[in-house]
Structure 1
Amino acid sequence: MKRSTIVLLTLALMVGLLLSACSGAQETAKDDSLERIKQAGKFIVGLDDTFAPMGFRDEEGNIVGFDIDLAKEAAKRLGVEVEFKPIDWNSKELELKNKKIDMIWNGLTITEDRKKNMAFTKPYLVNTQIIIVPEGSSIKSKADLAGKKVGVQMSSSGLEALKKDKEVYDSLAEVVEYPDYLEAFLDLKAGRIDAVVADEILGRYYIEKRNENFVILDDNFGTEEYGVGLRLEDKQLLEALNRVLDEMKQDGTMSEISKKWFGEDIIKK
């Protein structure tokens, strides 16, 4: 074999090894999420701070709620702090992608579309998309929504569930999208819309606490599961979070937090 050929083969081998090493380093960098959180001493949770009782502000302006307590306990078990950052729910995937937050923990429904942009923990709650109307409304079922104005939150699972029921969705006069459900409920009370499609956990809590003259129909748009959303590449953090959530289920901590906020244990087993 000619000397020039040997040199070229040697160079090609060296370049290949260097590229492989660089690729390995990149893969390692992509999966250092847990170490990064440990070094920072905290993880940042993005949330809609009007989504009671999962994450919302109390009368003193403090962020409280079921998911807030879960996140605080998980952070404690991971040996770090937690920071809660209110975000525009319509831009939640972008906030996560741009690393302005580390996770979304706020009654986040696990859907196939969302799985394309984020990783999810194991589900911890089951929820239903319910229909809420004013007391005395002529709307008694999904079929009665034909020709009506229905309110939902932007980029919500309620909107997704409504769109999936094509027959009902196509029959509506208008779908009004709101930045948060509080605005939707205010418009429902004022008669500007005829119904709201929302998470059962949120809807029942709102009606009870506000003593609103709203009615929840027997018909609904299906059940779903809540999980914590993380970046797709943050596999270490996802694994660690799943571990502590499992521990919290097994030792009864999650059940106690559920009883505090819902009066009963509604944790998904």
Structure 2
Amino acid sequence: MRSHGTRRSFLKGFAGFSSAVLLHACTSANSRSTSGANENSEPIKVGLNVGNIPWEFRTETGELVGFEVDLLQEVGKRLERAVEFVDTPFTALFPAVLSSRIHAAVSSITITTERLKTLDFAQPYYDSDQSLTVRTDRGIQSLADLRNKIVAVDSASTGDAWAQQHMEEYGFAEIVRYEGLVPAMADLESGQFDGYISDIPSLLYYTKDRASLQVVERIPTGEQYSIMFAKGSPLRDEMNAVITALKQDGTLAQIHQKWFGAAPESGTSTAEVRSLPRS
């Protein structure tokens, strides 16, 4: 799920989410982008974990929308190739890319040194951290209040790795794992565990209209999201060049404005061109 520039303050840039959500339906899962598509080119199969709000999720009418959906649709348009989205559990995205069942993957995937050993990434397009989300009626205000309590994470995520590394420090009684934010949030609300550690943009977005849930702590991890490819995929450089253009002409800033209600901060990887990540 590095040069990071100025870090966002805890809630900065998230005012206006309500006006952004569900304004634009982009596509449906396994549908293809048709604008400017070259019929003689093979569709780009992009794996994503549907339900990963606000990056890729379904509206009430079943349409697939989100920040990364918009990004990949624009990339496909400029490459004059159709984009075919393949709904895939997060942990299955990695073997799917490695085995070439899909050409690329997104799902707020963080660039890490370990992942770069076997996979390639385009330049980052979003800076992030982890966070702690709790029920508002439990009296939990920070990680320090989770001693002898159960925490949940997304399986095989950077939040999972962080929780394992800090389990002894904070005295977590147990770490439980989920495939996706929505089922984890349902169990948090029903009291199945005490706190949820996951990417802060998704949790701020999800909890903004839910009085029963609250993001109580940002966990600085200095993460950056990107598109993931198999090692040596020529598509990496093609897509990376388009991302550079999207940053330079302001299109990526417009996508950020749409989904987060504010322009990206200067100095972030959404606003500025970055080098390709190297192992």
Tell me the TM-score normalised to structure 2 length.
0.78
Once the two structures are TM-superposed, the CA of residue 231 in structure 1 deviates from its matched residue by 0.5
Offset of 1:124 from its aligned partner? Answer: 0.8
**How many Å apart are 1:268 and its aligned residue?**
4.3
Give the alignment of 1:61-76 within 5 angstroms: 61-76=62-77
Equivalent residues of 1:123, 1:227 under 8 A apart: yes
Structure 2 residue runs without a partner (length 5+): 1-37, 265-269, 273-279
* Separation in structure 2 between the aligned mates of residue 71 and residue 140 of structure 1, nearest angstrom: 37
User: How far 1:45 moved relative to its partner?
Assistant: 0.7
Contact 1:109 / 1:227 at 8 angstroms: preserved in 2? yes
- Tell me, yes or no, if the aligned pair for 2:200 and 2:218 is still in contact at 8 Å: no
SS at 1:108's partner residue? Answer: coil
Query: Is contact 1:141-1:219 (8 Å) kept?
Result: no
The match for 1:22 is none
In the superposition, the TM-score normalised over structure 1's length comes to 0.81
Tell me if the contact between 2:90 and 2:107 (Cα under 8 Å) persists in the aligned partners.
no
Contact 2:130 2:218 (C-alpha < 8 Å) held by counterparts: no
Q: CA deviation at 1:221?
A: 4.8
Q: Which residue of 1 aligns with 2:113?
A: 112
2:238 to 228, 237, 240: 240
Aligned-partner Cα distance in 2 for 1:139–1:112: 33
Structure 2 contact 133–217 (Cα < 8 Å) conserved? no
Percent identity reads: 30
> Within 5 Å, which residues of 2 pair with 1:165-244?
165-168=166-169, 171-209=171-209, 211-234=210-233, 236-244=234-242
SS in 1 for 2:221: strand
Q: Distance in 2 between matches of 1:174 and 1:117?
A: 30
* Structure showing the higher helix proportion among its residues: 1
Quote the Cα distance in structure 2 between the aligned partners of 1:116 and 1:164.
21
Post-superposition CA distance 1:152-210 (Å, at most 9, x none): 111112112222335436x211101011111111111011100000111110111125x
Shift of 1:219: 4.6
Larger Rg: 1
Instruction: Tell me the equivalent position of 1:86.
Output: 87
SS in 2 for 1:50: coil
Deviation at 1:239, TM superposition (A): 1.2
User: Residues 221 and 162 (structure 1 numbering): CA distance in 2 closer, same or farther, change over 3 Å?
Assistant: farther
1:57-112 C-alpha deviation (Å, 9 max, x unpaired)? 11111111110000000011111010100012122111111211111122111112
Change (3 A) 1:97 1:39: farther
Q: 1:40 to 1:168 in 2, by over 3 A?
A: farther
**Residue of structure 2 equivalent to 1:32:** none
Q: 2:190 and 2:231 mapped to 1: Cα distance?
A: 42
SS of the equivalent of 1:230 reads: strand
Distance change in 2, residues 1:123/1:146 (3 Å): same
> Residue 49 of structure 1 contacts residue 56 of structure 1 at CA under 8 Å; is this kept in 2?
yes
Partner of 2:122: 121
Distance verdict in 2 for CA 1:179–1:147, change over 3 Å: same
Q: Give the partner amino acid of 1:250.
A: Q
Paired with 1:244 and 1:39, the residues of 2 have a C-alpha distance of 20
Match of 1:13 in 2: none
- Distance between the aligned counterparts of 1:165 and 1:219, measured in 2? 15
Q: Kindly tell me: are residues 212 and 103 of structure 1, through their superposed partners in 2, closer, same or farther at Cα, counting changes over 3 Å? A: farther
Computed over aligned residues only, the root mean square deviation of the Cα atoms, in angstroms, reads 1.8
Q: CA deviation at 1:225?
A: 0.6
Provide the C-alpha distance between the structure 1 equivalents of 2:253 and 2:122, rounded to a whole number of angstroms.
18
**Against the structure 1 CA distance between its residues 167 and 221, is the aligned structure 2 distance closer, same or farther, given a 3 Å change threshold?**
farther
